[in-house]
Structure 1
Amino acid sequence: MMYRSKATQKLNNIAYALIIGGALGNLFDRLWHGFVVDMIDFYVGDWHFATFNLADSAICIGAALIVLEGFLPKPTAKEQA
């Protein structure tokens, strides 16, 4: 489905691929280990940022791309031809 979509939907396709890939990565961890393995942990002084993994990052980046695409101008019919 993504392969046959228009070139103008490339950003959307990348975003959905990141979200699906991240979700499958977390699902694999949940099924294999019984929990999701979080490996990235940030501390700045006494402040602690959320602990996450690469799959979580992919999901967040994909969601951000979908939001970003909502702000981009839509191509006209002339540009699509």
Structure 2
Amino acid sequence: SVWLPVALTLILGGAIGNLIDRIAYGHVVDFISVHWGNSYFPAFNIADSAITLGAIMMALDVLREIKEERNKASSSSE
């Protein structure tokens, strides 16, 4: 499966990006701010997006593996 290595790379890369900001500036620089009317989503950066995408990909990979295992179990018991 390609998804798990890509997911782990995104998570690790995002974490390293945030760590570099912490070391260089003493805090993480969040520069993307999204709002709709008077409602604001918390500010984030590319590293945060990579971590989130990696976590979603990892969760989907786990769900896919569970589904495959259930299909194998049900086909072998027939």
Offset of residue 70 of structure 1:
1.5
Q: Percent identity?
A: 41
Unaligned runs of 5+ in 2: 73-78
Once residues 43 and 70 of structure 1 are traced to their aligned partners in structure 2, the CA distance between those partners, rounded to angstroms, is 32
| Root mean square deviation of aligned Cα | 1.4
Larger Rg: 2
Once residues 21 and 65 of structure 1 are traced to their aligned partners in structure 2, the CA distance between those partners, rounded to angstroms, is 14
Number of residue pairs the alignment of both structures matches: 68
TM-score by length of 2: 0.81
AA at the equivalent of 1:56: D
Higher helix share: 2
Runs of 4+ in 1 over 2 A off after TM superposition: 73-76
Once residues 66 and 54 of structure 1 are traced to their aligned partners in structure 2, the CA distance between those partners, rounded to angstroms, is 18
Unaligned runs of 5+ in 1: 1-7, 77-81
Write the mapping of 1:1-81 to structure 2, written as runs, cut at 5 A. 8=1, 10-72=2-64, 73-74=67-68
Structure 1 SS opposite 2:6: helix
Offset of residue 48 of structure 1:
0.5
TM-score by length of 1: 0.78
